[in-house]
Amino acid sequence: MRFDRVWEIAKKDMASVRRHRYVLYGLVVMPLIFAIVVPMITILPFLSAEVAGDNLPPFAPPGFSVKQATILAMVSLLSLIFMFIPAFVPSVIASYTFVGEKINKQLEPLLATPTTDSELLLGKALGAFLPAVGVTFASFTGMVILVDLLTLPIFGYPVLPDLLSLVILFVYCPLIAILSVSVSVFISSKVNDVRAATQLSGVSVLPVLGFYFLFLGGLLKLDWVELALFAALLVLIDAGLFYLSKMTFQREEILTKWK
Amino acid sequence: MIRLEGLTRRFNGRTAVDGLTFRVREGEIFGLLGPNGAGKTTTVRMLCCLIRPSEGRAFVGGYEVGREAMKIREIVGLLPESPGLYGELSAYRNLDFYARLYGVPKQRREENIERFLKMMDLWDRRNDPVGSFSKGMQQKIAIARSMVHDPKVLFLDEPTAALAPDSAKVVRDFILELKHEKRTIFICTHNLYEAERICDRVAIINTKLITLGSPSQLQREFGSGKTEVQIKNLGSRILHAVKKVKGVLKVEVSGNKLLIQSKDPETVNPRVVEAIVKNGGKILYVTRGAHGLEEAYLKLVGKNEV
Ligand SMILES: Nc1ncnc2c1ncn2[C@@H]1O[C@H](COP(=O)(O)OP(=O)(O)OP(=O)(O)O)[C@@H](O)[C@H]1O
Ligand SMILES: [Mg+2]
């Protein structure tokens, strides 16, 4: 594996994909919404109003006043929905760099170069992974600052980052981005339309949705064990899917079998 | 430099390339001719290790296709059927990216890119996105891309198909210049005029190999050997004299032109010219009658139609 080649491919993909409208949406608009709009509408209503004790969500942490517990519950939800960014953004980029390049016949000259299949796949995967993770981090930082500013008067200390948010940011988000890229590679070999590929890659949000709803329903306490289990589950899924995408990305099959 | 031994490729039971066996010498410009769907692109793809042969073997630069794919990719350049450039990136960036993937050192990279862009007359547009270029300009960039790493063997799949006559000439001259650098060039083309002009040898295929030889050899063997002579003062005396020349099979007249058929034009034609001049004829032009290679090609491909 020659990492300079891998890096060239990733760099090229990141440069050539920047101008597409959908990608821009994924890289700019969506993160802004997650960093600013979503925190505002989830947190703001609870800051001023009196919160009644009887409709406390099942996942609110114990040991706080009703109002604080409600806000903390909302903050956890906020952290969780950040996992949608790495589930979504890589699939948009990868749809362009795999399906788009397949349709525009840009893969043939690339496959003729003396790069190995693994270098090509890893380069292209990184080209989708890095912007997604970068944008997730940036957007997360924005969200953390905004939430802390809003909630400081109520708690007297910054509530974020907490354990959950750090695990989400540094463990779950990268793992989910890998999942999303792998799914996209597989789908790219079957589909001949960038938008269809983006939509089909939507299956990448399934684990995120599952986790999210289990938490909403109060079935998860989000202690160490559960967090570790979910991480392990993601690692397993990633390993399987990455293997699948490596099997799919076979140079001598791409020009003949990728329909 | 290139050796095919029964190279065969089937797609879902249908044979696209059937048992091709021939050699291409080092430093040669070799043309692969054939009708649409004859298997030219498939052959090139196999030789560049982009698709696997179903049967048979092939060697490029001494390396075996399939087993030593990486070595082959390092020494060959490919111009595919469609240019496949990155439309959002500049011409320069497109070439630079490929040069880096081929591991060309910085200085050589810059020299080559500049040289080829200047040669293709696109140096001034080097910073424009390729997507804004015309089809022919893109084709030129793609040709430059196939060259950025100084490949020993160059595969060009219909290099001049999208080009205006002047650009096609630039490309042809470019190919001839590469020949002087001792590179082996393998061209798929439909343009018989071009094949005749630049190829040392051509193979005509239609799934199977039909024939192989130098353009003039094929013309001699398969052409009808017609010669056209345009004469200022064509009269019955001259016509009569030409008909009597030894080796002339048939003479047709149209306007002030004679269309002369003979078994072996290269020995008969000088005698014909002599006879005309002797009888006071003022010769304007002596040219090949029907287009030589084209005639041979149509005859061969027509005969082998399934
Ligand atoms: N990926 C593929 N899957 C199935 N059949 C294919 C594939 N590629 C080529 N073929 C078939 O192989 C045959 C040869 O095709 P090829 O593209 O090699 O012809 P060609 O000589 O390059 O034609 P053209 O002059 O039109 O470019 C055709 O019948 C084509 O349909
Ligand atoms: Mg072709």
Residues, beta carbon < 5 Å, ion ligand 2: B 40-41
pLDDT at B297: 77
Quick check: A16 and B89 CB within 8 A? Answer: yes
Determine the Cα–Cα distance for residues B284 and A47; give it in Å rounded to an integer.
100
Q: Are residues B30 and B59 in the same domain?
A: yes
- Chain A residues in contact with B42 by the CB 8 A cut-off are none
Q: Does the pLDDT of residue B182 top 90, yes or no?
A: no
Confidence band of B267 (pLDDT split at 50, 70, 90):
confident
Rounded percentage of chain B residues whose pLDDT exceeds 90: 57
Q: Are residues B157 and B36 in the same domain?
A: yes
Cross-sheet strand order for the sheet of B55-60: B14-24, B2-11, B55-60, B63-64
Kindly report the protein residue whose alpha carbon is nearest to atom 31 of ligand 1.
B37
DSSP state of B184: E
A181: domain range?
A: 3-257
Residue B35 CA, closest ligand 1 atom number: 25
The total of other beta-carbon atoms located within 10 Å of residue B161's CB is 15
Crossing angle for the helix pair A206-216 and A173-188, nearest 10 degrees?
140
Average pLDDT value for residue range B126-140: 92
R_g (Cα) of chain B, nearest Å = 23
Picking from B73, B85, B87, the nearest residue to A112 by CB comes out as B73
Bridge partners (DSSP) listed for residue B203: B32, B212
B241 falls within a domain: yes
Determine the Cα–Cα distance for residues A257 and B50; give it in Å rounded to an integer.
12
Q: Are residues B166 and B258 in the same domain?
A: no
Distances (CA, A) of A12 to A154, B86, B94: 47, 9, 9
Determine the Cα–Cα distance for residues B33 and B205; give it in Å rounded to an integer.
6
Question: pLDDT digits over B19-51, tens only?
Answer: 999 999 999 999 999 999 999 999 999 999 999
Average pLDDT value for residue range B91-117: 96
Quick check: B45 and A18 CB within 8 A? Answer: no
For ligand 2, the distance from its centroid to the CA atom of residue B109, given in whole angstroms, is 30
B297 falls within a domain: no
Picking from B50, B93, B103, the nearest residue to A252 by CB comes out as B50
Residue of chain B whose alpha carbon sits nearest to that of A16: B88
Q: Which of B172, B165, B174, B163 is nearest to B136 (CA)?
A: B163
Does the model's pTM come out above 0.90? no
Terminal Cα-to-Cα distance of chain B (whole angstroms) = 32
Chain B: closest CA distance from residue A153 (Å): 49
Q: Are residues B196 and B235 in the same domain?
A: no
The structural domain count of chain A equals 1
pLDDT at B306: 43
CB B229 within 8 A of CB B251: no
Check residues B163 and B104 and name the one with the higher pLDDT.
B104
B150 falls within a domain: yes
Average pLDDT value for residue range B273-286: 90
Residue entry with tokens 């030409």 = B242
CB-based contacts of A185: which residues, under 8 Å, 6+ apart? A94, A98, A121, A124, A125, A245, A248, A249
Which regions in chain A score pLDDT beneath 70?
Answer: 51-55, 259
Kindly report the protein residue whose alpha carbon is nearest to atom 4 of ligand 1.
B11
Kindly report the protein residue whose alpha carbon is nearest to atom 25 of ligand 1.
B36
Quick check: A112 and B50 CB within 8 A? Answer: yes
**Which of B164, B189, B219 is the last residue before a domain boundary?**
B219
CB A178 within 8 A of CB A207: no
The total of other beta-carbon atoms located within 10 Å of residue B297's CB is 27
Q: Which of B76, B69, B75, B34 is nearest to B50 (CA)?
A: B69
Determine the Cα–Cα distance for residues B131 and A81; give it in Å rounded to an integer.
38
Q: Are residues B43 and B164 in the same domain?
A: yes
Determine the Cα–Cα distance for residues B6 and B22; give it in Å rounded to an integer.
9
Which of A1, A12, A117 to substitute to test the interface with B, most B CBs within 10 Å? A12
- For chain A, the residues whose C-beta falls within 8 A of a C-beta of chain B are 4-5, 8-9, 12, 15-19, 101, 104-116, 251-252, 255-256
The tally of CA atoms less than 13 A away on the side-chain side of residue A38 is 23
Among B7, B18, B41, which residue has the most ligand 1 atoms within 8 Å of its CB, making it the best to mutate? Answer: B41
Quick check: B73 and A114 CB within 8 A? Answer: yes
- Chain A residues in contact with B156 by the CB 8 A cut-off are none
Kindly report the protein residue whose alpha carbon is nearest to atom 1 of ligand 1.
A256
For ligand 2, the distance from its centroid to the CA atom of residue B131, given in whole angstroms, is 23
Q: Are residues B93 and B206 in the same domain?
A: yes
Check residues B136 and B29 and name the one with the higher pLDDT.
B29
B128: domain range?
A: 2-219
Output the 3-class SS for chain A: CCHHHHHHHHHHHHHHHCCCHHHHHHHHHHHHHHHHHHHHHHHHHHHHCCCCHHHCCCCCCCCCCHHHHHHHHHHHHHHHHCCHHHHHHHHHHHHHHHHHHHHCCCHHHHHCCCCCHHHHHHHHHHHHHHHHHHHHHHHHHHHHHHHHHHHHHHHCCCCCCCHHHHHHHHHHHHHHHHHHHHHHHHHHCCCCCHHHHHHHHHHHHHHHHHHHHHHHCCCCCCCHHHHHHHHHHHHHHHHHHHHHHHHHCCHHHHHHHCC
Question: pLDDT digits over B45-74, tens only?
Answer: 999 999 999 999 999 999 999 899 999 999
DSSP state of B25: -
Domain holding B235: CATH number? 3.30.70.100
CA angle (A162 as vertex; A156, A167 as ends), nearest 5: 170
Q: Are residues B149 and B233 in the same domain?
A: no
Average pLDDT value for residue range B93-98: 97
Quick check: A255 and B51 CB within 8 A? Answer: yes
The tally of CA atoms less than 13 A away on the side-chain side of residue A159 is 25
Q: Are residues B23 and B122 in the same domain?
A: yes
Query: What does the block give as tokens for B175?
Result: 């190919």
Indicate the average pLDDT of chain B. Answer: 90
Rounded percentage of chain B residues whose pLDDT exceeds 70: 96
**Which of B219, B241, B261 is the last residue before a domain boundary?**
B219
B222: enclosing H helix or E strand = helix B215-222
Q: Are residues B178 and B213 in the same domain?
A: yes
pLDDT at A62: 81
Q: Does the pLDDT of residue B295 top 80, yes or no?
A: no
Which of B94, B101, B146 to substitute to test the interface with A, most A CBs within 10 Å? B101
The total of other beta-carbon atoms located within 10 Å of residue B132's CB is 12
The structural domain count of chain B equals 2
Q: Are residues B196 and B134 in the same domain?
A: yes
Domain holding B123: CATH number? 3.40.50.300
DSSP state of A205: G
Bridge partners (DSSP) listed for residue B7: B20
Q: Are residues B231 and B200 in the same domain?
A: no
Q: Does the pLDDT of residue B102 top 60, yes or no?
A: yes
Given CB atoms, is B97 within the 8 Å cutoff of chain A? yes
Query: What does the block give as tokens for A236?
Result: 């397993």
Q: Are residues B139 and B237 in the same domain?
A: no
Which of B49, B50, B106 to substitute to test the interface with A, most A CBs within 10 Å? B50
Q: If you count residue pairs, one on A and one on B, with CB atoms under 8 Å apart, how many are there? A: 77
pLDDT at B292: 66
Distances (CA, A) of A71 to A168, A254, B253: 19, 51, 102
- Chain A residues in contact with B12 by the CB 8 A cut-off are none
Cβ of residue B38 lying under 6 Å from some atom of ligand 1: yes
B7 alpha carbon, distance to own chain's centre? 21
Residue entry with tokens 């800051």 = A47
ipTM confidence score: 0.88
